[in-house]
Amino acid sequence: MAEFWQQVVSGLAAGGVYGALALALVLIHRATGVINFAQGEMATFSTYVLWTLTTNHGLSYWPAFAIMLVVSFAGGVGIHQAVIRPVERGSQVRVVIITIGLLLLLNGLMTWIWSGEVKAVQSPFPGGTFDLGGVAIAYADIGTIAVCLGAVAVLWLFFQFTKVGLALRASAVNPAEARLVGVRVTWMLGLGWGLAATLGAIAGVLTAPSTFLDPNMMQAVLIYAFAAAVLGGIDSPMGAVVGGLLLGVGLNLLGTYASFVGSELRLPAALLVILVVLLLRPAGLFGRQQVKKV
């Protein structure tokens, strides 16, 4: 039984990371209807920035973390400005192809700058476990869950209670009407990309200690994030987070108790989730049904 709860806790931690990256995907999709295939690579890039700051520039963890967040935000805004804005208004397919191009570009850039060698990234949390009712719970897991939920909470407060947050929400669903009340929608979209990049950076930094850092680190996590976003409803922020947690716990339990799945079939299992949800209930758990019967 202790094993079960341990898997649940570590599943929640993994799920928190999936949820954070999924939230980034949902933010961008809500605002622009685009799926950003480069979200994972952007997160990995941010993690490399953190690694460089702590390793090559001798900064301690939390100051480096803060700088990395700012750099990530700026990067997200910059990317939107440079390559997304020119094609935003046109066909979604073109924008998606551009994000795929970004995926390649960033991946290659990371290999170029930092080489493909695997690097170790320190964890901000103390190692080891503590005992809670006979269950061994890792500090790292609790820390990860706390950081992810904290980030989500801060974002929620921003959207609900600030003027800019309100304007961003308005731009996402009614861009034309938002312009009429004076909102600079293009800036809002850039802001959305910046926030998404920051969320992704947090996801990347929380993943790196256990998986080690290399250019392909977030490829699998991106698929899990896709699955979480689709499961929760691709336009629902709450769905992304809930979907992530559910997926994290679900995959862990499946891997532990269904020996057929083992650890190698986690990725195909996530893929199966994507396919099943899209085919049976495309709106996911919390999304709204879109009518498009042909």
Partner 1 sequence: MTGLLELRHVEASYGPVQALRGISLSVPEGSVVAVLGANGAGKTTTLRAVSGTVRRSGEVRLDGKPLRGGPESAAKAGIAHVPEGRGTFTDLSVLENLRLGAYTRRDRSVKADVDTMTRYFPWLRERGDQRAGTLSGGEQQMLALARALMGRPRLLMLDEPSLGLAPLIVREIFRIVRELNEKEGLTVLVVEQDARIALNAAASAYVLEVGRVAVSGSSAELRDDEAVRRSYLGY
Partner 2 sequence: MSRSTLRTLLVFVALTAVVMVLPAFVSDFRAQQLSYVGIYLVALIGLDVLAGYTGQISLGHGAFMAIGGYTTALLMTDHGIKDIATIPAAIVVAGLAGLLFGFPAARLSGLYLALATFGIAVATPALIKRFEGFTGGGTGINLFGRPELTASLTPVRALGVELNFDVWLYYLAWSIALVGYVIAWLLLRGRTGRSLRAVRDSETAAVSSGISLTRAKVLAFGISAAYAGAAGALFAIATTYVNPDTFPVELSIFLLVGVVVGGLGSLTGLVAGAIFIQFMPLWAQSVSKSPGAPAVVYGAVLILVVLALPLGAAGLLARVAELVRRGRDFQKP
Binding site for partner 2 (CB under 8 A): 33-35, 37, 83, 86-87, 92-94, 96-98, 100-113, 115-116, 215, 219-220, 223, 226-227, 230, 262, 264-265, 267-268, 270-271, 274-275, 278-279, 282, 292, 294
Q: Is 170 in the site for partner 1 (CB under 8 A)?
A: yes
Task: Indicate which single residue of 63, 94, 120, 184 sits in contact with partner 1 (rule: CB under 8 A).
Answer: 184
Q: How many residues bind partner 1 (CB under 8 A)?
A: 17
User: ∠ at Cα 116 (141, 24), nearest 5°?
Assistant: 45
d(CA 76, CA 66): 16
We find the least distance from the C-beta atom of residue 185 to partner 1, in angstroms, to be 8
We find the least distance from the C-beta atom of residue 146 to partner 2, in angstroms, to be 29
d(CA 110, CA 160): 36
The phi and psi torsions of 137 (rounded to 5 degrees) equal -115, 125
Q: Is 180 in the site for partner 1 (CB under 8 A)?
A: yes
| DSSP-derived 3-state class of residue 208 | helix
User: Which of partner 1, partner 2, none does residue 35 bind to, with CB < 5 to 8 Å depending on kind?
Assistant: partner 2
Q: What are 217's two structure tokens? A: 């680190």
Is residue 255 within 8 A of residue 248, CB to CB? The reply is: no
User: Which of partner 1, partner 2, none does residue 180 bind to, with CB < 5 to 8 Å depending on kind?
Assistant: partner 1
DSSP annotation of 288 reads: P
How far is the first Cα of the chain from the last one, in angstroms, to the nearest whole number? 50
Q: Is 167 in the site for partner 1 (CB under 8 A)?
A: yes
Q: Is 166 in the site for partner 1 (CB under 8 A)?
A: yes
Identity of the residue, 170 or 274, whose beta carbon is nearer to partner 1 in the bound complex: 170
Task: Indicate which single residue of 1, 176, 280, 291 sits in contact with partner 1 (rule: CB under 8 A).
Answer: 176
- CA–CA distances in Å: residue 235 to residues 70, 198, 238, 274: 26, 19, 9, 15
Residue 247: enclosing H or E segment and its boundaries? Answer: helix 237-257
- What does the binding site for partner 1 look like in residue numbers (CB under 8 A)? 163, 166-167, 169-170, 173-174, 176-185
